[in-house]
Chains A and B, each alone.
Chain A
């Protein structure tokens, strides 16, 4: 409620501030994950190669969305927006592959 009021009055100065250090830590994690995914790609994990790469990509994306894009600290409605978009994409992929898998 307090946050809402500070937004309404047009003052941004009281918004939650995240330290430079937190951002740098998240960046280090992102760089580390990039190194891991590049190294893992060289190891033959057969069917799991793509899965591992996608899990790492999703982890990186969630770090960017939550911390860099502040979604973690935003009102619930923003999470609802993102959830609906994510669910829509999931449904589109699922329905498409429900067709593709059984086509041949």
Chain B
């Protein structure tokens, strides 16, 4: 074992000194595989939503009228804009503009806070009306409406957790950019963090019409 490992390790370390080997394609591929598992997780929830909507069309329509279309629309724009600042931060680091990257990345994290703030206002107003999972007000309603709001809290809640996770990851990336660990030559971590942020945006793109655009 040692005889084989010896020269290989030596060659690898020699290569490391010449030019640090980073498998960028491999890193991206790994990230994409992870994103696809996330996609399938949410696809399962969308499947449940579509089946129950098919069985309880009228109740879903009635319940859908009670969600805040305006807040949902504003939040969609907030997330889309945060996706823009995300790609702009990568474009900036590609051009070696560290502080522009820092500015765009901070804006992205800030947009995450705005999104969650609006989500807080929205959920607070629903809960104030007595609509939350297992509430007496909700349980007095039809099965379809109970299912709609159950899915509403589950799906937007799970999405919200993803937004928080994304913000934590982006905060780490911000530190790495500030410490020059992410730079013009090596920004794959920022790219992968960006991919995660965009995935969270894409999931919202589908949640939006299904929960907020029923008129």
Using a CB–CB distance below 8 Å, which chain A residues touch chain B? Answer: 4, 7-13, 15, 17-20, 23-24, 26-27, 30-31, 34, 37-38, 41-42, 49-50, 53-54, 56-57, 60-61, 64-65, 67-70, 74-75, 77-78, 81-82, 85, 88-89, 92-93, 96-97, 100
Q: Are A41 and B47 in contact (CB under 8 A)?
A: no
Which secondary structure dominates chain A's binding surface?
helix
Which secondary structure dominates chain B's binding surface?
helix
Among B155-189, those with CB < 8 Å from A are 184-188
Q: Which residues of B contact A67 (CB under 8 A)?
A: 87
Q: Determine whether B209 belongs to the interface, using a CB cutoff of 8 Å to chain A.
A: yes
Q: Are B51 and A96 in contact (CB under 8 A)?
A: yes
Report the separation of the CA atoms of residues A93 and B22 in the bound assembly, to the nearest whole angstrom.
Answer: 39
Residue of A nearest to B206 (CB): A57
Q: Are B29 and A78 in contact (CB under 8 A)?
A: yes
B13-25 CB mask vs A (1 if < 8 Å, else 0) is 0000001111111
Q: Are A10 and B22 in contact (CB under 8 A)?
A: yes
Contacts known (A12-B188, A27-B84, A30-B80); A41 close to B201, Cβ less than 8 A: no
B66-110 CB mask vs A (1 if < 8 Å, else 0) is 000100010011001101101110010011000000000000000
